[in-house]
Copies of this chain bind each other. A is one copy, B any other.
């Protein structure tokens, strides 16, 4: 056991944050020694070209990934052959925990743009985690948050109007871009309208109409994949289902 070293810790934290591993490390619960151990097993700077896959259904869980640059989508093909987009993964967000349960991936992760990822080999992660209760706990927490996100997503897909879904998507994306250290108002979408549609459970034309409608209403400016959020406050309200130009139909008192 060594005495905690504030300077080293700070450097590692920065490096970790830079490498976007902060979801695993930063939110407290991991001390200097543990962070150092974790750092040691991280494999850095693996380059993934646009369209390349990080893993695919049936692949054994090799590791968890965090993009430093670029973006990913995770998808499954349902039995009718349709692609369902489960989620998008921006820099700093953990990818690959879906195989946690079975040890085998059920979805595939595709790079939406050329990406730089860090990889934590799973065997070594569990080995380290087994010796570090706080990391174990942190791992649980990250998984739990993933579940939370899924449930939120689920809530969005059901019972929300198409335009609300689009607004919520854009709003959420902005928030996440902000945490990733990018602008939340000047957005270059890494995914196509079709990807968004398959994420939101809509037809791609409906997504497109949603964007157009938001532009008409002065909420955003759209030019293809370039989106400028003009009225962030309004976007947030629309996302939370507060208004909607057409008065809402019958609702609980």
Contacts and interface: CB of A to CB of B under 8 A. Distances in A.
Interface in A111-147: 126, 130, 133, 136-137, 140-147
A210 interface: no
B101 A144 contact: yes
Protomer copies: 2
B201 A158 contact: yes
Contacts of A100: 140-141, 143-144, 147
Contacts of A157: 154, 157-158, 201
A133 B145 CA distance: 22
B155 A154 contact: no
A216 interface: no
Interface residues of A, number: 42
A241 interface: yes
A78 interface: yes
Interface stretch (A62-70, A81-89, A177-185, A217-225): A81-89
Contacts of A176: none
B147 A98 contact: yes
A241 B80 CA distance: 7
B106 A148 contact: yes
Contacts of A151: 76, 86, 98, 106-107, 150
B153 A101 contact: no
A79 B240 contact: yes
A241 B79 CA distance: 8
A150 B158 CA distance: 13
A151 B99 CA distance: 12
Given A79-B241, A80-B241, A101 B155 contact: no
Given A86-B154, A100-B144, 9 more contacts: A78-B159, A86-B151, A101-B148, A136-B136, A140-B143, A150-B150, A150-B154, A154-B154, A154-B157
Interface of A: 76, 78-82, 84, 86, 98-102, 106-107, 126, 130, 133, 136-137, 140-148, 150-151, 153-155, 157-159, 201, 240-241, 251-252
